[in-house]
Amino acid sequence: MPEQSIYRDNAELYAAFCENNAPNSQYDRPAILRLAGDVTGKRVLELGCAAGVLTGQLVDRGAEVVALDREPRLVDIARRRLDTRARVEVADLEQPLTLVPTAGVDLVTASLVLHYIEDWAPLLAEPHRCLVPGGALVLSVHHPVTGWALSDQTDYHRVEVVRETWDWAGRQVTAELYRRPLSEIFGPLRRAGFSIDVVDEPRPQEGPDASPGLFEVLNTKPVFLFVRARRTDERPTAVR
């Protein structure tokens, strides 16, 4: 996983910024919640909870949530936000999720986190193990087209680190993330035993507080890709 010191060094700033900025609050989180569906009474595992905003929305909708993040400072913020309403723990998503029992959750969410991980095979094995049969993994990642534009464009089929500079309330930060071709999104999901249920590229509705320029970008350019995949016990046959 690329070094993500921007979240450690700017934890409080990021926590405040991501709560209300349009790509998170009016684009990503609404799409994740829509694909998650009715979560009343469901056990939810959230991968990459950051400061716990989505966690709180899942709890408000009646879910019982275990939320994980790699960055201890963000976990501390999420715990303060949620108090005892959800269990929030520090965890490395590239390691076995030993605190979650086999078939122990109904839904796994992964909002804008998987693009920080290079090898999806061991990563996806754990949500598959944790989910009940038929349970869903709902994820969002930076769109492959956007990742390709950030690369040197010498090899589309390569999984590689790209860099993108973001403005967090006036502070410029540069993130490192993995861009990958479409085949390296859907192939690992199918090999892990997931069937693809929904692929979405939503177009958000502009609200009264939205920046017109930003919403033009969100409605006309590839930004994030959303997927809902169901746990099965089948593995794809080799393609000749």
CATH number for the domain harbouring residue 110: 3.40.50.150
Within a domain: residue 30?
yes
Within a domain: residue 50?
yes
42 pLDDT more than 90: yes
Tell me 26's DSSP state.
Answer: I
Within a domain: residue 154?
no
234 pLDDT more than 90: no
CA-to-CA distance for 86 and 20, rounded, in angstroms?
A: 21
- pLDDT at 3 (0 to 100): 52
Residue 20: domain span: 5-142+181-231
Within a domain: residue 148?
no
212 pLDDT more than 90: no
Mean of pLDDT values over 110-118: 97
What pTM value is reported for the model?
Answer: 0.93
Residue 22's pLDDT band (cuts 50, 70, 90): confident
Residues 6+ apart with CB under 8 A from 218: 22, 23, 27, 203, 204
- pLDDT at 213 (0 to 100): 74
Mean of pLDDT values over 117-135: 96
Q: Beta-carbon neighbour count of residue 38 at 10 Å?
A: 9
Number of domains in the chain: 1
Within a domain: residue 158?
no
- pLDDT at 211 (0 to 100): 67
- pLDDT at 239 (0 to 100): 46
Per the model's pLDDT, the better-predicted residue between 179 and 233 turns out to be 179
Mean of pLDDT values over 125-133: 97
Within a domain: residue 173?
no
- pLDDT at 240 (0 to 100): 44
